[in-house]
Chains A and B, each alone.
Chain A
């Protein structure tokens, strides 16, 4: 199984990216709390995995004009909402479509794209902000909302073998399509494999979908309270590589160093060396100038060391956009092997 493994850091100064609804214990009755988790004496804020997926899905629509699968089904068109041939987001984000016993099978597709929640690297001071709505006549309406300043970490994996490849094996997560799609796969010039059990889109479409999913990362936009906080949620630090296994190796790169978010360059170097046989593409590190610049020297140093030791892969240190666009080429190239 070949997977893109990715790690990102998002800088969130004065942000409220994902809210948990009314804060029950608050002084005012209309305080909106940010999503957080308490650990010991510290509070860690997070953006749920579901919200992060939503940002990516919407950004794909805006940036690459993906036609998103409609959520509402119409009775006459039986297969639009779970149609990975027509809708690229059904393909890469998976689906579950429960169909009544009369009309047949329940379709499910394991999402080739998987992502963690975005979690703050360090404990966070959450600010309660006080506001009023006073543009109307009469008493002003006070309200409170919370925000924070932090660095969020996230990881994701994209199963490259599954993108644009649909199975009709009767197993949970693998019953992606049925014979009823035959017309669809014929019009999309699909390749029929394993006696019709597996249907693949042409490699250029698979490459396009996978590389656009990666390519949207520098342009992701989303999150709550953007009108008053306008957080740039595009990654400021990113690590990308293709692995030939399902291990998510970049989970310990960001660390809490005396209350500050830090990049553990040593840990990054160690996982690259430990998994060099599993890493089957060049490794791309992207970093935005001005974000954690104190690690520039360490990263360059690591790069030189790795590139003189490693024979099968090369490590690149670029800007975020260059790292992503170069890696997009690697992903498209993967399908043309």
Chain B
């Protein structure tokens, strides 16, 4: 399968768990699919959904740290309260995004908006944009750095309900929420649901 592979690097990233609203804010080890669609939308400068392109991705990072942040909470009586909470973040995110729609090449060569992975302080840089062939490889392959829909045979890992993408309305609505295996680390897998990147020697799960 011919795909576009975009390699992005950054210094920090954070992906909040949807279930944690206040207090300690842990980060997912890898972004949800919706974050990837957000990133593609920023590059393209318009709203992109699974209708426009299917995506796969593999993200690794060097370490996890905890930041201390101040938030301001507005209440209805026009008062403002500040609060301090702990937020996890990832160091040196290294992300490969695979897009089935090859026409996004120009968008990543010349992204419309500043590319971010998580929050406004998580700036990203495009290292490489390349067309490659993903192949079918039977037998053992390593897979990870991504999320995989629950129920996929031969996959195991922590489960988390995550959206596929967000609507373009106010307020934004999470669309197609379902449980995913969150594969922070790589595992060995033998099935055929993953495509295979020969150059980087890992499986790629295509969403969409």
Binding site for B on A (CB under 8 A): 1, 3, 19-21, 35-40, 44, 46, 48-50, 71-75, 94, 97-98, 100, 105-106, 110-111, 114-117, 119, 155-157, 159, 170-172, 175, 244-252, 278
Contact = CB atoms under 8 A, between A and B. Distances in A.
A111 B120 contact: yes
B63 interface: yes
A interface: dominant SS: loop
A71 B124 contact: no
Contacts, number: 123
Interface residues of B, number: 44
Interface stretch (B8-16, B133-141, B143-151, B187-195): B8-16
Given A50-B70, A117-B11, A248 B115 contact: yes
Contacts of B50: none
Contact of B121 (A38, A94, A115, A278): A115
A252 B11 contact: no
A116 B172 CA distance: 26
B42 A246 contact: yes
B80 A71 contact: yes
A37 B111 contact: no
Contact of A159 (B9, B114, B124, B125): B114
Interface of B: 9-12, 42-43, 45, 62-70, 72, 74, 76, 78-80, 84, 91-92, 110-116, 119-126, 168, 170-172
Contact of B172 (A105, A157, A172): A172
Contacts of A37: 63-65, 91
A20 B66 contact: yes
10 contacts: A21-B68, A40-B62, A49-B12, A94-B120, A98-B74, A117-B12, A172-B172, A246-B42, A247-B115, A252-B125
Interface centre among B10, B64, B119, B121 (most CB of A within 10 A): B121
A49 B121 contact: yes
B79 A116 contact: no
